[in-house]
């Protein structure tokens, strides 16, 4: 089946922002709804507290993102909600007042587009919240509510808050704070479709869909895609699917998924037995057990065989997110593990995504600790930031790293070599994840170049045209 995915995504570098934790605006605000008591910015994050990051604050940091090389922003939910992560939506047409409301978002959208940055929003369309008006009406009026059929009520009276009683309506993972929509109700379906259309018309560049596998209604996501693409054919639709996503990536639904099937093996290879098991056993993305080069190659080849190439180029590849512990903590704050994993991220097919703060070595254990505030510049790991910047620039410089064919050339022991090829342009990526230096004759892999240009070197790796020399935990990228 022939289909198209958004061309811009194939060339994009995403930056995921958790709005409450990225930046507070420096402007003077005359907004009563924002004149509230907040947790200290530098204190550890809590499940229920607010730090006060807002969308004007994001707009004020756009130059930082452009300097880093970012070309697209993915914002976790921004709509009115009674929780700091805003997955408990109250009103899909109103941006949360603590974030600055609709005015702040439209200002951010305009400023981002002026800097050629795309903006993708988080669509939480499987469930709403107890504060969502139509569900709140059920709480107030019981079986007399006109919106009763919007949700799935099993018994009366509703037990919306008393944990001593069973929840007698359906919620996401039985969470009574997140009542699930009845997507079989045509009114619910149409309501969600119109939300999707509304914000695309306001100028957003796509939707990241939260737990879309929970929506079982036949044809729902096919219709969503058709209606979104009818407004903007280049809008990006990316689903949160942690496992094999074949059934959603048939060209009729999503353009890609959050590619945790890339995340787990990449960390398991780059970090090996440095992975902190206490941080990775609960989220099911499996950056363990440790992989050697052959094991990693097998995982990547399997991943590349799952979906059409057009889809592979618009997968959202990541190493951290708000749902898992941060990479820096997962690998025991080992710099080399971060660099090697990040190199694999920026040289693999698909759109790389940086979780805010990862580029400056922000630690973070499991939620809520993975949602720390963005640190002051004095606390940045400047070396990691410079490497992120260099790898983004490398990807931008060589089209082969964005849309070129991917091939594993060598995978043995701790040494992994892959290439990206586009026409006459070939980029070679070599990593030694082991603790012993290694060398390899390249005669059988590549035909002779006496002085091949090295465009990225980590820890003194080199290639003299005949042999690759990689010290322990080292990497090199060369053009052939």
Domain extents in the chain: 7-399, 403-479
Handedness of CA 289, 293, 297, 298 (dihedral sign): negative
Residue 429, exposed/middle/buried by CB under 10 A (0-12, 13-18, 19+)? buried
Residue 464 has a pLDDT of 85
* Strand order, beta sheet including 474-479: 405-412, 415-422, 425-432, 474-479, 454-458
Cβ neighbours of residue 77 under 8 Å, at least 6 residues apart?
85, 86, 87, 89, 121, 122, 124, 210
Cα separation values, 394 from 9, 331, 401, 455, 464, Å: 17, 25, 8, 8, 21
pLDDT band at 445 (very low <50, low <70, confident <90, very high): confident
Cα separation values, 349 from 37, 80, 81, 326, Å: 44, 35, 36, 22
Q: Mean pLDDT across the chain, nearest whole number?
A: 96
210 is catalytic: yes
Cβ neighbours of residue 86 under 8 Å, at least 6 residues apart?
19, 20, 76, 77, 78, 79, 80, 96
Catalytic position from the list 54, 240, 292, 359: 240
In sequence order, what DSSP letters do the residues of 139-169 get, joined into one string?
HHHGGG-TTGGGB-B-SSS--SS-TTS---B
pLDDT, tens only, 355-392:
999 999 999 999 999 999 999 999 999 999 999 999 99
Taking the CB of residue 193, how many other CB atoms lie within 10 A of it?
A: 17
Query: What value does the mean pLDDT take over residues 11-27?
Result: 97
Distance CA 418, CA 408 (A): 4
Query: What value does the mean pLDDT take over residues 269-289?
Result: 97
Please say if the pLDDT value at position 56 is more than 80.
yes
Nearest to 346 by CA among 289, 387, 292, 290: 387
pLDDT, tens only, 123-154:
999 999 999 999 999 999 999 999 999 999 99
Bridge partners for 256 per DSSP: 238
Q: Please state whether beta strands 351-355 and 316-318 pair in parallel, antiparallel, or not at all (unpaired).
A: parallel
pLDDT band at 432 (very low <50, low <70, confident <90, very high): very high
> Which two tokens mark 131?
């504060």
| Residue in the structure block whose two tokens are 């995915």 | 5
Homologous superfamily, domain 7-399: Glycosidases (3.20.20.80)
Distance CA 60, CA 65 (A): 10
pLDDT, tens only, 170-215:
999 999 999 999 999 999 999 999 999 999 999 999 999 999 999 9
Please say if the pLDDT value at position 262 is more than 60.
yes
Catalytic position from the list 54, 122, 205, 210: 210
Bridge partners for 441 per DSSP: 467
Taking the CB of residue 107, how many other CB atoms lie within 10 A of it?
A: 15
Please say if the pLDDT value at position 2 is more than 60.
yes
pLDDT band at 167 (very low <50, low <70, confident <90, very high): confident
Residue 451 has a pLDDT of 63
Residue 1 has a pLDDT of 56
Bridge partners for 118 per DSSP: 72
Nearest to 388 by CA among 111, 75, 116, 64: 64
Distance CA 17, CA 85 (A): 11
The CATH class given to the 403-479 domain equals: mainly beta
240 is catalytic: yes
pLDDT band at 453 (very low <50, low <70, confident <90, very high): confident
Query: What value does the mean pLDDT take over residues 295-302?
Result: 98
Q: What percentage of the chain carries pLDDT values higher than 70? A: 98
Please say if the pLDDT value at position 449 is more than 60.
no
Distance CA 181, CA 194 (A): 15
Query: What value does the mean pLDDT take over residues 425-449?
Result: 87
Query: What value does the mean pLDDT take over residues 400-428?
Result: 97
Distance CA 26, CA 60 (A): 8
Please say if the pLDDT value at position 443 is more than 90.
no
Distance CA 323, CA 319 (A): 11
Q: Is 421 helix (H, G, I), strand (E, B) or coil?
A: strand
pLDDT band at 446 (very low <50, low <70, confident <90, very high): low
> Which two tokens mark 333?
């704050």
Q: What is the pTM of this model?
A: 0.97
């Amino acid at each position: 089946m022939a289909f198209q995915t958004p061309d811009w995504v194939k060339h994009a570098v995403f930056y995921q922002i958790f709005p409450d934790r990225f930046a507070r605006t420096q402007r003077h605000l005359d907004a009563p709804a924002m004149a509230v008591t907040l947790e200290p910015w530098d204190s550890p994050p809590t499940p229920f507290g607010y730090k006060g990051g807002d969308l004007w604050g994001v707009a004020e940091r756009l130059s930082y993102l452009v300097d880093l090389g970012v070309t697209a922003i993915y914002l976790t939910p921004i709509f009115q909600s009674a929780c700091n992560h805003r997955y408990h939506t109250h009103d899909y047409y109103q941006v949360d007042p603590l974030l600055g409301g609709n005015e702040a978002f439209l200002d951010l959208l305009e400023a981002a587009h002026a800097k050629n940055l795309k903006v993708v929003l988080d669509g939480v369309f499987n469930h709403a919240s107890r504060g969502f008006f139509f569900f709140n009406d059920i709480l107030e009026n019981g079986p007399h509510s006109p919106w009763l059929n919007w949700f799935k009520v099993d018994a009366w009276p509703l037990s919306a808050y008393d944990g001593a009683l069973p929840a007698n309506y359906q919620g996401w993972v039985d969470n009574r704070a997140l009542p699930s929509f009845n997507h079989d109700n045509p009114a619910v379906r149409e309501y969600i479709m119109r939300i999707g259309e509304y914000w695309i018309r306001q100028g957003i560049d796509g939707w990241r869909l939260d737990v879309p596998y929970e929506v079982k209604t036949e044809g729902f996501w096919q219709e969503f895609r058709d209606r979104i693409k009818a407004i903007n054919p280049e809008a990006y639709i990316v689903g949160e699917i942690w496992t094999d996503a074949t059934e959603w990536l048939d060209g009729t639904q999503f353009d890609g998924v959050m590619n945790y099937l890339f995340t787990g093996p990449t960390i398991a290879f780059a970090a090996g037995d440095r992975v902190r098991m206490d941080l990775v056993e609960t989220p099911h993305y499996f950056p363990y057990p440790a992989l050697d080069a052959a094991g990693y190659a097998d995982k990547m080849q399997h991943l590349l065989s799952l979906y059409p190439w057009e889809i592979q180029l618009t997968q959202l590849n990541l190493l951290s997110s708000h749902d898992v512990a941060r990479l820096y903590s997962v690998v025991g704050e080992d710099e080399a593990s971060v660099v090697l994993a990040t190199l694999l991220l920026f040289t693999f097919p698909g759109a790389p995504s940086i979780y805010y703060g990862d580029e400056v070595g922000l630690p973070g254990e499991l939620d809520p600790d993975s949602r720390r505030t963005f640190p002051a510049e004095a606390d940045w790991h400047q070396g990691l930031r410079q490497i992120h910047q260099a790898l983004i620039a490398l990807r931008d410089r060589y089209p082969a790293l964005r849309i070129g064919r991917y091939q594993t050339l060598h995978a043995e022991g701790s040494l992994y070599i892959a290439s990206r090829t586009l026409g006459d342009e070939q980029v070679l990526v070599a990593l030694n994840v082991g603790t012993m230096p290694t060398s390899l004759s390249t005669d059988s892999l590549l035909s002779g170049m006496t002085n091949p240009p090295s465009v990225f070197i980590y820890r003194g790796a080199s290639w003299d045209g005949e042999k690759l020399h990689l010290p322990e935990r080292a990497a090199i990228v060369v053009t052939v």
